[in-house]
């Protein structure tokens, strides 16, 4: 597995988005753990989660607990695995998503995530989504406090615009290491954030890079150039999509969601897929 940098840590250039293992349509625990183990076997060392990745109101942090269990039961070395979690989003249990970016909530959420993950410090803690009721500087200030207190090793933000990226980096004293935004062939409006991260040397983590669990399988039929390039290389359109993202900038680390060993094993092969400038141009124009 080729690596890329988050802060001072090298991680596999393809990460694992663990959300599908805990929300609607989730598989049984055994298959989820097998998926995480397969990812680790393939050299994945970045696993993305959040306390809000769960179904029912009484199982907050289901995904974090699952990841902790998978890491504990893995028979290899997990010391280089960076678990990235998030706080500030909530699921009341009725299928909806709500937001709480208050400093008190973020600090309490971090403490709860620490316990579920069973660690002394969270590898990467990210403010999940801006809360319009709370000044952004207050929310990011809470992340800074957690960083200063040693409860988190690295700080990131998610669903941010360029102004918020610059603001967060200032509040964190230049210690912002990652930005996690939606980016895929169907959703390209985060290109300015990607370019800013490349300029600043901050990791850019595209979430739903294949278009989300319900649409990932249709990527090739929705965007013909991805299928055409895939046929030319005898690989999947999903591999082409991830390779296209990796070629955009050295700071890009896609985190495709997966709940089956087969899909994450296909995804990681994208690190070895070399696309020509002409192919990349065709894919850029496919949106």
Number of H helices, E strands in the chain: 11, 11
Number of neighbours of residue 52 by Cβ within 10 angstroms = 25
Catalytic residue among 53, 125, 136, 154: 53
**114 to each of 107, 117, 123, 280, how far by Cα in Å?**
11, 5, 10, 41
Q: What's the length of the chain?
A: 287
Cα angle 130, 116, 67; round to 5: 90
Residues in a beta bridge with 89: 99
Residue 116 in 3-state DSSP? helix
For the question of residue 53 being annotated catalytic, the response is yes
- Cβ-count burial 240-276 (b if 16+ within 10 Å, e if not): bbbbbbbbbeebbbbbbbbbbbebbbbbbbbbebebe
Q: What is the DSSP letter of 216?
A: G
Among 85, 54, 44, CA closest to 263? 44
Q: Which two tokens stand for residue 98?
A: 């709500």
- Enclosing H/E stretch for 46: strand 46-48
DSSP letter string, 5-73: EETTEEEESS-EE-GGGTSTT---HHHHHHHHHHHHHTT--EEE--TT--SSGGGTTHHHHHHHHHHHH
Distance of alpha carbon 50 from alpha carbon 237, whole angstroms: 28
Q: Which residues pair with 160 in a beta bridge?
A: none
What positions carry a catalytic annotation? Answer: 53
């Amino acid at each position: 597995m080729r690596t890329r940098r988050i802060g001072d840590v090298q991680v596999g250039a393809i990460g694992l988005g663990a959300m599908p293992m805990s929300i609607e349509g989730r598989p049984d625990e055994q298959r989820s753990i097998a998926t995480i183990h397969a990812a680790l076997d393939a050299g994945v060392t970045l696993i993305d989660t959040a306390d809000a990745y769960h179904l029912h109101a009484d199982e907050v942090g289901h995904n974090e607990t699952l990841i902790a269990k998978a890491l504990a039961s893995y028979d290899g070395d997990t010391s280089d695995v960076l678990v990235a979690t998030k706080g500030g989003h909530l699921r009341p249990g009725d299928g909806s998503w709500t937001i709480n970016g208050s400093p008190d909530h973020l600090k309490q959420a971090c403490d709860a995530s620490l316990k579920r993950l069973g660690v002394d410090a969270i590898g990467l803690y990210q403010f999940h989504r801006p809360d319009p009721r709370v000044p952004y500087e207050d929310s990011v200030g809470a992340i800074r406090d957690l960083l200063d207190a040693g409860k988190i090793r690295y700080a990131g933000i998610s669903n941010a615009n360029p102004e918020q990226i610059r603001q967060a980096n200032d509040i964190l004293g230049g210690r912002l290491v990652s930005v996690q935004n939606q980016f895929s062939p169907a959703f390209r409006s985060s290109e300015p954030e990607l370019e800013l991260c490349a300029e600043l040397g901050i990791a850019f983590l595209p979430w739903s890079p294949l278009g989300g669990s319900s649409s990932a399988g249709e990527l090739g039929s929705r965007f013909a150039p991805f299928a055409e390039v895939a046929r030319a290389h005898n690989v999947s359109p999903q591999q082409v999509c991830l390779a296209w993202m990796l070629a955009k900038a050295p700071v890009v680390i896609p985190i495709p969601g997966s709940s089956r060993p087969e899909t994450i094993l296909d995804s990681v092969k994208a690190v070895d897929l070399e696309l020509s400038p002409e192919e990349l141009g065709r894919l850029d124009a496919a949106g």
